Structure 1
Amino acid sequence: MLQKGGAFLLEDIDPQDVFTPEDFTDEHRMIQSTVADFAVNELAPKAEELENQPEGLMRELMQKAGELGLLSADIPEEYGGADLGKVASCLIAENVVAGGSFAVTHSAHTGIGTMPILLFGNEEQKKKYLPRLASGEAIAAYALTEPNAGSDALSIRTRAVLSPDGKHYLLNGEKMFITNGGIADVYITYAKVDGDKFTGFIVERNTPGFSLGQEEKKMGIKGSSTRSLIFEDAKVPVENVLGEIGKGHLIAFNALNIGRFKLGAACVGSCKLAVEHAAKYALQRVQFAQPIARFGLIQHKLAMMAARTYAVESVIYRIAGMLEEALADKKEGPAAVEAISEYAIECSIAKVLASEVLDYVVDEMVQIYGGYGYIQEYPAERFYRDSRINRIFEGTNEVNRLLIPATIARRAMKGQLNFLGAARTLAREILNLRATLPEDDGKPLAAERQMLAMAKKLFLFIGGQAVEKYMDKLAQQQEIMGILADLAIVIYAMESAIVRVLKAHGNGQADKKLLLAQAYVHDTYPLLEKWAREAMCFLFEGDMRQTQLSIVKRMCKHQPVDLIGLRRQIADRVLTAEKYVV
């Protein structure tokens, strides 16, 4: 049964209803193998060369990717696509990261560059553009950000007015930080018609009045093109209006949902590569007459790099499975948009969690490499620089953190999620609520499952108190919104890690996953009490504060495990395999 977006906070899910990497079909594995071969043979050898943006190389690689069907996974066959589904799309995004900056170009093209036309284009637009985008003949870019409009997208200043003959819209304004800006043929952009109607447009490279700024000199992802777009009475044909006049915000925000989800998949791929590089280096680097892989603190790093990667991988493919099922008979148009928007909360979770896990993983990778991690000749240096942009791309992590509880609250007010009812029920029971010893039901992770259940109650407890105090002004309390978002993110990650084990348990495949899930849950769980205490100290004073803090303490009580022992077992498996392994 397909779970509604955000419902994970209010209900348990049957592990059999969750898609995991262990559910890959033979077709999925074939796609994974094809992409991996392409990445190893074509992309990885060119990754360093791409850093200097040699003329034509990125386009050549994109066309090769198009020939293999790696640009068309989301495009229906009738428009020249492969229609492989969201799981396959994830696998492609995850595995092309071996090409460094190529992955950024690929992601911008296949996600936010192509999806707006698929989801909102009319039949003529789809027939005109999608086959060329699917093959790599044309490259797409997405242009929303302006000098004075980043996260506040609706405040854009680019204007569009209808020409006197009624055949064109004349666009005036500037977009900035546009990925693929210098190499794209098709740009999805936005302007306010008559100064107030936020509207999407398809702009072609040869449009009169349209020009490009200089290449930006960036900290990382240097091989991808990033330029500003300049519109000076740019003549865009009226037939290139995307969607309805004044409804461009629907295009912008739904395209970003897919972009956030795909960014998460790419981050998973980078995490796995980083673990592999770090493990191999730790085995080769000898200090004090032994490989540094034998040192406990190095094993600690490798183990938690793997455990966090496991959690985010579980999240990404869980979402991929939900999106694939939701979109099974709705590939395009309003029905597809509705299906995607249903999981806006989960897409924001994927983006924040994956980008921050990757930053953690590559930071530890640099540390394992030591001084060599700071040298360009070694992979850690580029991984470190390239990873940082992910917390800014596709809406900053701060904006996505605000979106998570805001979307939950909006759905609760509409009656789509019974958050308020669940919070009131919990409030009546709260004084008698306390953590107890888990029951042994023959399934693994009994203690961790109980911790997860209590974490969901903790979210309801804090959220309910916050809503009661601030009502419709809660959005102005961004720190509390951030705490609620962090709780939701960790809850979703813990649950995804746990249910993956439970699903594998019946197949005799749970052993390695069990260690990874335990390590992730027990390493992360103490943060929940920290965040909850911070929230209670802000929301209450005096005796009421002490009462609330004592409730939090009871709710967060749990039985610790031997994390050092768990990490050593995980590290041993990573080092034996010389890569991330489950």
Structure 2
Amino acid sequence: GTKRFITNADKAHVFTVMARTGDEPGGRGVSAFLVPRDLPGITIGEPEKKMGQKGARVADVVFDDTPVPAALRLGAEGQGFKIAMQVLDRGRLHIAAVCVGVAERLIADCVAYASTRMQFGKPIAEHQLIQAMLADSKTEALAARALVMETAARKDALDERAACGPGRPPLGDNVVLESAAAKYYASEMVGRVADRAVQIFGGAGYIADYGIERLYRDVRLFRIYEGTSQIQQLIIARETLKRGG
């Protein structure tokens, strides 16, 4: 089979692979493996030409009758989906934090530009509609930052508690909902901030020399990888119903 859009596939020496090893339905029949790149039957496709984030190359990983011994399995058989979900919680929180950082960079660039770009005899930062866009961007960035920080603190506390002893956590004693909400809100937020940045810069925002158009293209991917915005909505709704509110 083929796994598409693997980040840094052409550089990696080992891949984490989820494969079905049992007949149980859904995620219960999936196991996780650490698969070295040099195993027989593994080939790497040509890197894709992407819209943005060109510093991170993506390519296909193709498996053709690749033998994977049980010794390369991560965890117990059938635990692959659970392992993947635990990693995704951390990954989604990480993406949310990156979105906040990019938004703060965009806002700083907008303030610097609007404070020096003159129009009608004064900096455009003194025009109220420019101020309104800055206010919206700053407010949304602060809200996303607060959500990320609160979720990260809770994740740290849960990890510390788990390290102290075994036991099944009570219902809702995880950050599945919160990390999905952080990723959903922050990725949508930075898209709006980038769009306003292009608007504040005007024609200059459409020119590569200023860098705003690059960030505008780069942030679009945040709403897709580590689970699309639509997947985050499903997770948030499912967890909210499960927790009773």
Same fold, judged at TM 0.5 (above): yes
| Candidates 82, 88, 91, aligned match of 1:250 | 82
Report the Cα offset of residue 334 of structure 1: 7.3
Matches within 5 A, 1:6-25: none
Is the contact made by 2:2 and 2:61 (CA closer than 8 Å) also made in structure 1? Answer: yes
Alignment of 1:510-521 (within 5 A): none
**2:2–2:62 Cα contact (<8 Å) kept:** yes
Q: Pick closer, same or farther for the CA change 1:344–1:360 going to 2, 3 Å.
A: same
1:269 matched to 2:101: yes
Q: 1:395 aligns with which of 227, 231, 237?
A: 227
Native 8 Å contact 1:258 1:340 kept in 2: no
- Secondary structure of the residue aligned to 1:327 is helix
Identify if the C-alpha distance between structure 1 residues 339 and 283 changes in structure 2 by more than 3 Å, giving closer, same or farther.
Answer: farther
Is residue 179 of structure 1 aligned with residue 7 of structure 2?
yes
State the shift of 1:332 in Å. 10
Q: Does 1:299 align with 2:162?
A: no
Alpha carbons of 1:201 and 1:341: their partners in 2 closer, same or farther (altered >3 Å)?
farther
Q: 2:181 pairs with 349, 356, 372, which one? A: 349
> CA separation of 1:339/1:265 partners in 2, compared to 1, >3 Å: closer, same or farther?
farther
Displacement after TM superposition at 1:363 (Å): 0.5
213, 217, 220: which one aligns with 2:45: 213
Deviation track 1:71-107 (CA, whole Å, cap 9, x = no partner) reads xxxxxxxxxxxxxxxxxxxxxxxxxxxxxxxxxxxxx
| Cα distance change, pair 336–392 in 1 and its aligned pair in 2 (3 A) | farther
Q: Distance in 1 between matches of 2:212 and 2:233?
A: 28
Q: Which has the higher contact order (CA 8 A, sep 6+)?
A: 2
- Deviation of 1:261 after TM superposition, in Å, equals 0.8
Q: Partner amino acid for 1:395?
A: G
On the 8 A contact 2:155/2:174 being kept in 1, the answer is no
1:188 partnered with 2:16: yes
Matches within 5 A, 1:66-85: none
Give ranges in structure 1 of 5+ residues lacking alignment: 1-172, 413-418, 420-582
Query: 1:253 offset after TM fit, Å?
Result: 1.6
Equivalent residue of 2:155, what SS? helix
The letter for the 1-side match of 2:144 is V
Post-superposition shift, 1:277?
Answer: 0.6
Q: Would you say how many aligned residue pairs link Structure 1 and Structure 2?
A: 241
Selected match of 2:69 from 229, 237, 248: 237
Equivalent residue for 2:241, pick from 383, 396, 409: 409
**Structure 1 letter corresponding to 2:4:** M
Conserved? CA contact 1:327–1:339, under 8 Å? no
Shift of residue 208, structure 1, vs aligned partner: 1.9
**Shift in Å at residue 294 of structure 1?**
1.1
1:228 is paired with a residue whose SS is strand
Shift of 1:237: 2.9
**Which whole-Å CA distance do the structure 1 matches of 2:97 and 2:219 have between them?**
13
Cα distance in 2 between the residues matched to 1:326 and 1:238: 31
Partner-residue secondary structure (3-state), 2:209: coil
CA contact (8 A) 2:44 2:62 kept: yes
Partners of 1:332 and 1:232 in 2: CA distance = 43
Does 2:74 match 1:225?
no
Query: Cα distance 1:208–1:331, how it changes in 2: closer, same or farther (>3 A)?
Result: farther
Q: Identity of counterpart residues, as a percentage?
A: 36
Listed one character per residue, the Cα deviations across residues 383-405 of structure 1 (whole Å, up to 9, x for unaligned) are 10000111111111111101112
Compute the RMSD of aligned alpha carbons: 2.3
The whole-number CA distance in structure 2 between the counterparts of 1:246 and 1:228 is: 25
For residues 146-180 of structure 1, the C-alpha deviation after alignment (integer angstroms, 9 at most, x for no partner) is xxxxxxxxxxxxxxxxxxxxxxxxxxx11001112
Given that 2:22 and 2:78 are in contact with CA atoms closer than 8 Å, whether structure 1 keeps it comes out as no
The DSSP-based 3-state class of the residue aligned with 2:162 is coil
Query: Contact conserved, 1:200 with 1:251, CA < 8 A, in 2?
Result: yes
Task: Rate the CA distance shift 1:245–1:338 in 2: closer, same or farther, 3 A.
Answer: farther
Q: Is the 8 A contact 2:172 2:243 kept in 1?
A: no
* Superposed CA offset, 1:332-356 (max 9, x none): 9976998997110101100111001
Counterpart AA for 1:225? R
Structure 1 residues 275 and 224, CA gap change in structure 2 (3 angstroms): same
Cα displacement string for residues 176-219 of structure 1 (whole angstroms, at most 9, x for unaligned residues): 01112121222111111267631111111222211111101111
Give the aligned residue type for 1:323.
K
How far apart are 1:411 and its partner, in Å? Answer: 3.6
CA distance in 1, matches of 2:154, 2:86: 16
1:287 CA drift (Å)? 1.7
One-letter code of the match for 1:280? A
Q: Which residue of 1 aligns with 2:91?
A: 259
Contiguous gaps of at least 5 residues in structure 2: none
**1:258-296 Cα shifts (integer Å, max 9, x gaps):** 111111111110011000011101112112222111111
Give the number of the structure whose alpha-carbon radius of gyration is greater. Answer: 1
User: Letter of the aligned partner of 1:310 in structure 2?
Assistant: L
SS of corresponding position for 1:377: helix
Contact 1:254/1:341 (8 A) holds in 2: no
Higher percent of residues as strand: 2
